[in-house]
Homo-oligomer: A and B are copies of this chain.
Amino acid sequence: MFDKICVLGCGLIGSSLLRAIHKKKLAKEISAFDKSKDVSLYLTKNFSFNVTKSIDEAVKDSDLVIISSPLSSYKEILLLIKSSLKKNVILTDTGSAKKEINKIINNLNLEDVNWIASHPIAGTEFSGPEAGFAELFEKRWCILSADKNISKEEIKKLEKFWVELGSKVKLMSFEQHDYVMSLTSHLPHAVAYSIVKTAINEDEKYKNDIIQYSAGGLRDFTRIAASDPIMWRDIFIDNSENILEVLNNYSKNLDEIKTAIKNKDGEKLMKIFSSTKKVRKEIIKAGQDTDKPGFGRK
């Protein structure tokens, strides 16, 4: 598909991309760069592709460059690679917030660069290159966003790339992406971090109980609250406007439940709880979760 693909940042997502590109034979040449020496060493030991010592070397002659590092690192990376980018390269990423990043890239006035943002809705609670696997993107959505000046042909090329990795692709504006994600991903993370913090802030005397009896609900939230702190710090800062808006709506809904509990208003509680029951069925129907009880975990 491409003569050379380059992945910058090789944690869970980046290393999964490398594995998948290699497995599916999507490029004649694959290059990888990570600023961490430990990550580079891990990749060199375990894979045959070219793990470069300099970022320029990785980027040089690449037809597709994928940035797969925390959002806060993009600006520095872009300034470093700007002069090494091949003419008409497709530049993409895997970040979870888009609007601010798009501003940064537009301000850099990159010439002859096809910037098309990617967001694979895929991941686990684990981080680092050893957590990656080639099948991570299979049956998952990948959202692409691009400005109007980008040719449809280039977008098709990137779309085909993700489809080869097993993903389903959706085009969305940068703004729509950030709004939808604030509801489906960023709000759930803010809430999960808060709830786990509430539980662990309790008296030392209950700490063991909280761990032991977490199967009644809390354990589900601890998975999300175990996600990479750097990645999430950056998302909350980049998409702060949307997140604060949906957090306010969320607080209103929580207050409604609080009031119903205070008033022992069973009818109101029933109404709320019945309305939320349907959503899961629709998510399962859309192929976005398992229908096995308790996620099918053992």
Chain A residues at the B interface, C-beta cutoff of 8 Å = 72, 96, 121-126, 131, 140-141, 143, 170, 176, 179-181, 183-202, 206, 209-227, 229-230, 232-234, 236-237, 240, 243-244, 246-247, 249-251, 253-254, 256-258, 260-262, 264, 266, 269-270, 272-277, 279-283, 286, 288-290, 292-298
Contacts and interface: CB of A to CB of B under 8 A. Distances in A.
A90 B126 CA distance: 46
12 contacts: A124-B294, A180-B206, A193-B257, A198-B246, A215-B289, A218-B283, A220-B223, A222-B276, A229-B274, A232-B273, A233-B270, A247-B261
B197 A253 contact: yes
Interface residue SS majority, chain A: helix
B198 A183 contact: yes
Copies of this chain, complex-wide, total 2
B206 A276 contact: no
B289 A216 contact: no
A275 B197 contact: yes
A288 B214 contact: yes
Contacts of A196: 276, 279
A297 B286 contact: no
Contact of A202 (B183, B220, B264, B270): B183
Contacts of A72: 266
Contacts of A296: 295-298
A12 to B, nearest CB: 9
Contact of A215 (B213, B275, B288): B288
A251 B249 contact: no
B261 A244 contact: yes
Contacts of A262: 240, 244
Contacts of A140: 215
Nearest to A225: B276
A76 to B, nearest CB: 15
Interface centre among A124, A192, A213 (most CB of B within 10 A): A213
A248 to B, nearest CB: 9
Interface centre among A220, A243, A244 (most CB of B within 10 A): A220
Contact of A233 (B209, B237, B266): B266
Given A180-B206, A251-B251, 10 more contacts: A183-B199, A185-B213, A188-B216, A192-B217, A200-B276, A218-B283, A226-B279, A230-B270, A232-B273, A290-B297
Contact of A217 (B184, B250, B280): B184
Nearest to A183: B199
